[in-house]
Structure 1
Amino acid sequence: MAEDLKIIAGDREEQYKSLVPQIKALLTGEEDLIANLANISAALKEQFNFFWVGFYLVKDNELVLGPFQGPVACTRIAYKRGVCGTAWAKEETLIVPNVDEFPGHIACSSQSKSEIVLPLYINNKIAGVLDVDSELLDNFSEIDKKYLEEILNLLN
C-alpha cells in the first residue's frame, strides 16, 4: 500500500472503521516491530489529531519510550507508576477521563487532560503499552478501547 492515509470526517467510530483497514495494509508484509509501531502512532495522530500518541516498551522491568507522535515525553516509567505503569502491571486497558484525578499520574505535559493506555502483547507476552493523550477532558470511550485493541491485535 502507498504510505498515505485517507483521512475522513465523521463520528469517531466511522473514523476508526476507515482507519483500521488502512493500518492493516500498512503493516502487511512488514515484520519490523519499531517500524510498525511508528506507523500506527503516525496514523492515529494524523486521523484524530490526539495530543500525544505513542508506545512505551518493556525493557529491564521498566517502560522505555518507543515510537511516538507529539511533544517530547517521559523517557522511562516504572512498573505500577502512573497510568502507563498501572496498565502494564494490571495488563488491562485504562481509560482516564481526567488525569489530574488519577492517583500517581505522571505529568509529562500539563496540556494532557485525559488518557487511554492499552497493553501491547507480542507473542502472547506483554511487550509494552500504547498511550494516547488528549488535551480535552473525558475524550476517550469504549469505542476507542474497542478499535485501539483491534489495531494492536494486528501486530500478532
Structure 2
Amino acid sequence: MSLAVPELVGSIEERYAQLVRAAEALVAGEHDRATLAASLSSLVYHSLPDLNWVGFYFHEQHTGDLVVGPYQGKPACIRIPSDRGVCGAAARSLTTQRVADVHAVPDHIACDPDSRSELVVPLAIGGQIFGVFDLDSPVPNRFTEADQAGLEAIAEVLLSHVRTP
C-alpha cells in the first residue's frame, strides 16, 4: 500500500470515489478513533484544494461539548458547546451543515478568521452523536452537493472502522 497522497482525476464524483478508496486502504485494519481521525484528516487536507482546516471533534458525554480531535490546519478551538456554531448544529440535528458564508451564521464560532465557508458532517453511531467531521475553506461557497456526498462517504469510512468503548 502506498501512503502517498493520490492524484485525483476525472469528474468530482470520480475524484471522491478515488479518495474513498484511498481512505479505505489507508485505514484498513485500524480501529482506534484518534488514529483513524488523524489519518483521514491528513489525507483529505492534502488531497482537496482550497481547504484551510480539516479535522474531527468528538462528543464528550458528560458535558455535551464537542472536543477537538486530530486535525490539519491552524490551531483550533479546543471545545465547542453543542448548542453553538455550525459544528453544534450538525451534532444537534444529526444532519450535514453546508455553509456558503460562515459570516452570515449568527452564532458561528470563528476559530480562524480566514475561514469563509464550512462543511460539517455529523458522526453518529446507533443514532447517537459520536462527533463531527469539520472542513473549513477560505473560499466563499467552496462546498458543493458533490463535495458533501464525497465527504459524507469519507466520514463513513471512519465510522465503519471505529470501535467505541
TM-score normalised over the length of structure 1: 0.93
Give the deviation of 1:5 after TM superposition.
2.4
| Equivalent residues in 2 for 1:23-38, closer than 5 Å | 23-38=23-38
Does structure 1 conserve the Cα–Cα contact (< 8 Å) formed by 2:94 and 2:124?
no
| 2:112 pairs with one of 103, 109, 114 | 109
Cα offset, 1:124, TM superposition = 4.7
Please state whether the residue corresponding to 1:137 is helix, strand or coil. coil
> How is 1:100-139 mapped onto 2 (pairs within 5 angstroms)?
100-122=103-125, 124-139=127-142
- Displacement after TM superposition at 1:14 (Å): 3.2
**Contact 1:15/1:47 (CA < 8 Å) preserved in 2?**
no
Higher relative contact order (CA 8 A, sep 6+): 2
Contact 1:53 1:70 in 2 (8 A): yes
Compared with structure 1, are the counterparts of its residues 3 and 47 closer, same or farther at alpha carbon in structure 2 (3 Å cutoff)? same
Following superposition, the deviation at residue 3 of structure 1 comes to 2.4
Q: Which residue in the other structure is 1:67 paired with? A: 70
Residue in 1 aligned with 2:52? 51
**Structure 1 residue ranges (4+ consecutive) displaced by more than 2 angstroms after TM superposition:** 1-5, 7-15, 121-125
One-letter code aligned to 1:92: T
Per-residue deviation, 1:27: 1.6
Structure 1 CA distance for aligned equivalents of residues 76 and 122 of structure 2:
18
Corresponding residue number in structure 2 for 1:12:
12
Query: Are 1:143 and 2:146 counterparts?
Result: yes
Contact 1:64 1:75 in 2 (8 A): yes
2:163 maps to: none
CA contact (8 A) 1:42 1:68 kept: yes
Structure 2: which amino acid aligns with 1:95?
R
Paired AA for residue 42 in structure 1: S
- How many residue pairs are counted as aligned between the two chains? 156
| Structure 1: runs of 5 or more not aligned | none
2:79 is aligned with 1:91: no
Residue segments in structure 2 that go unaligned for 5+ positions in a row: 161-165
Aligned Cα RMSD in Å? Answer: 1.5
